Structure 1
C-alpha cells in the first residue's frame, strides 16, 4: 500500500463510528461522602440506559471531601483535570463547583432549593452552566414530614430540629419554612445545631433537655454519613424521629419520608447524556422528584411504645419488621 493510501485509510478508520464510540468522555464528581450503594448503582444504571459505560466511553474522576472546607480545592481539581461534565451530589458541592467554573457544564442532584442558594435563576430556564434535580418543593416539605410524624404521635406539640449551620438550605428553612409550619400546625420548635459527628451527641442531649415530644434531624451530608449514630441518639433519648431517607430508617430509625434518591441519581444520567450530546445546561429545566418514599420501622416504633396507625402502614412503601 502506498504511503498516501495508508494515511487515508488510517484517517477513515479513526473517524469511523465504531472508533469514535470508544473515545472516553471525562466526568468529574464531587461529594462530601461516598454515595450509598443503592444511589451509586442507580447513577451507573442511569448512564447505561443511555449507552454510557465507565471504562468504555466514560472515565470518572471522584472526589470525596469528607468535610465542607475541602470542597473548594477539590472543585478546582476537577476543573483542572479537564472534565467534560461536573456532577455535585449535595448543595455544598454544587456551590463549590459553580464557584470554580462558569464554563464547564454542571449537573447537581440532591439540592432542595437551587434558586435560594444561587445555583440557578429559575427552574424552567436555569441560565449559566448548571442544572439538575432538586429534592423537594420549597415551602411545603417540612410541613408534610411533620404531618406524617403527627399521625404517628398525635399528641406532639413541641418538636426539636437538628440543623447544620454550614448548610445554607437549613438556614432558609429555619428562617422561613419552620415559622410557617409552626403557625400552620400549632407547634413549638426547639432548634439545636451540629456541624460535626461529635457535636451530634451534644445537640441531641441539648434537645432532650428541653423535653420535646419528637425530633427532626434535617437531611445533610453530616447526618447521612452518621445515620446509625443519629438513629441511635434518637432511640437513646426516646425521641420519635422522622428522617429524610431510608438510610436512617433501615438500621434503627423510626420513620423516613423523602424523595426516592436512587431515582434522582438514575435520572441524572439523562442530564449527562444530553450535555455530552451538545445540549446546554442553561436550556435544561431543573426537575423535581416524581417519587417519594415512606419507610416505617415497626421494631423502632415498638421500642418507643408507639402503635403505627393502619392508615399510615397502608401508605408505606416499605415496612421494616
Structure 2
C-alpha cells in the first residue's frame, strides 16, 4: 500500500509537469496511458474524463493518473509495468501500441482500449462480439476502400505511396489493407517505413518521386511530421489522403475520420460499467458511429484538380 501511494504521488507530479489531467480523490483509481502526445489521443482523453464525470465518476469518486511515454516499444511497456505494479481498478489505453503492451504486461487488471485500429486483426481482441480476457474497448477502424474510392473519383490513382511505421500495429494493418484494395483495383503501391523522425525526409523523397498520391497511415512518429509531409507533397503536386482525424484541416485532400470525442465517450461508458462490476471480456467491441469523409477544396484548387459533383456529394464535410 505504501508503494501504491508513493507511485500515485509521483505520477500525479509527472502529470502536472506534462500538462496531463489528474483528479485528487479518495475513490476508485483509474490509470491511463496514451501511446503518444498526439492530438487525437489528447482529444479522446479529455472526452473520456468529461464523460466519466457525467456518469458520476468525478472528483471525490475517482482518481485518474496518466502517463504519455515516448513513442517506442520500451517506453510503452515501462509505463504499463509501472501501473501494473500498483494495481489500479482500471487501466485505459489510447492507441494500439500501448494496448498491445497492456495485454502483454498486465496481470488481471481490467483494460479499456480506445482508438485502436483493427483490434481483432492486431491481436488485441478475440472477436468483435467479445474481446476476451480482461479487455474491452473501442475500435477506430474505418474502410480504407472508401477513402481510396473518394480519391479515385477526383483523379484515378496509378501509383499510391504509403508512409507507415513497422513499430505500430495500426499502421502496418493500414498498409496491408491498402495493398488488398490495390490488388482489387489494379493500381501499384510503393511503401516507405518511417520508424523514427530522422527517416521521414528520405522516405518522402523516395515516394514522391514514384507516386501520384500519398497515403499517410496512422503513426505517432509520422503524425508529428504531418505538416512537413503535406508541404513537400504539395510542392511535388501529389495529393495526400489519410484516415487520421484532423488531417484534411492540415492539408490532406481527402480524409476518412473517426471522432476522437466519440471514442472517449464510448470508452467512458465501458469504464463506468467495469467500475460498477461488469467483466470487460464479456463486452463487445464498440465501433465508430460518427465517421466523416472530408474533402478540402482549397487543396484541390492548389493542386489544380477538378472535383466532380459525384465526389463532392459523397463528402460529409467540405472544407472550402
| TM-score of the superposed pair, with normalisation by structure 2 | 0.85
Q: Hey, what's the Cα distance between the residues in 1 that align with 2:131 and 2:259?
A: 23
Per-residue CA distance 1:80-136 (angstroms, 9 max, x = gap): 233211111111000111112131000111212222332222121222111101112
Per-residue CA distance 1:28-79 (angstroms, 9 max, x = gap): 11112235254343222321331222x3322211111122131111111112
Per-residue CA distance 1:199-225 (angstroms, 9 max, x = gap): 222111110122x11010111222333
Assess if the C-alpha contact under 8 Å between 2:163 and 2:222 holds in 1: no
Aligned pair in 2 of structure 1 residues 315, 144: CA closer, same or farther (>3 Å)?
closer
Structure 1 partner of 2:103: 98
Q: Hey, what's the Cα distance between the residues in 1 that align with 2:232 and 2:68?
A: 26
Q: Hey, what's the Cα distance between the residues in 2 that align with 1:88 and 1:74?
A: 11
Q: Hey, what's the Cα distance between the residues in 1 that align with 2:115 and 2:311?
A: 26
Moved more, 81-90 or 28-37: 28-37
Assess if the C-alpha contact under 8 Å between 1:24 and 1:58 holds in 2: yes
Structure 2 partner of 1:157: 158
Aligned pair in 2 of structure 1 residues 149, 191: CA closer, same or farther (>3 Å)?
same
CA-based RMSD: 2.0
Q: Which runs of 4+ in 1 moved over 6 A?
A: none
Following TM superposition, by how much is the alpha carbon of 1:172 offset from its aligned partner in structure 2, in angstroms? 4.2
Following TM superposition, by how much is the alpha carbon of 1:23 offset from its aligned partner in structure 2, in angstroms? 4.1
Q: Hey, what's the Cα distance between the residues in 2 that align with 1:295 and 1:244?
A: 10
Moved more, 292-301 or 221-230: 221-230
Assess if the C-alpha contact under 8 Å between 1:246 and 1:295 holds in 2: no
Q: Secondary structure at the match of 1:160?
A: strand
Per-residue CA distance 1:177-214 (angstroms, 9 max, x = gap): 3342122111111111111222222111110122x110
Aligned residues: 293
Is 1:206 the equivalent of 2:206?
yes
Structure 2 partner of 1:79: 84
Assess if the C-alpha contact under 8 Å between 1:227 and 1:247 holds in 2: no
5 Å-filtered alignment, 1:126-205, equals 126-136=131-141, 141-153=143-155, 155-175=156-176, 177-205=177-205
Following TM superposition, by how much is the alpha carbon of 1:165 offset from its aligned partner in structure 2, in angstroms? 1.2
Assess if the C-alpha contact under 8 Å between 2:38 and 2:220 holds in 1: no
Assess if the C-alpha contact under 8 Å between 2:38 and 2:223 holds in 1: no
Aligned pair in 2 of structure 1 residues 246, 111: CA closer, same or farther (>3 Å)?
closer
Assess if the C-alpha contact under 8 Å between 1:208 and 1:237 holds in 2: yes
Moved more, 76-85 or 98-107: 76-85
| Larger-gyration structure (1/2) | 1
Q: Which of residues 41, 44, 47 in structure 2 aligns to 1:42? A: 47
Structure 2 partner of 1:281: 280
Structure 1 partner of 2:36: 33
Q: Hey, what's the Cα distance between the residues in 1 that align with 2:244 and 2:199?
A: 21
Q: Unaligned 5+ residue runs, structure 2?
A: 1-24
Assess if the C-alpha contact under 8 Å between 1:61 and 1:78 holds in 2: no
Structure 1 partner of 2:8: none
Assess if the C-alpha contact under 8 Å between 1:216 and 1:243 holds in 2: yes
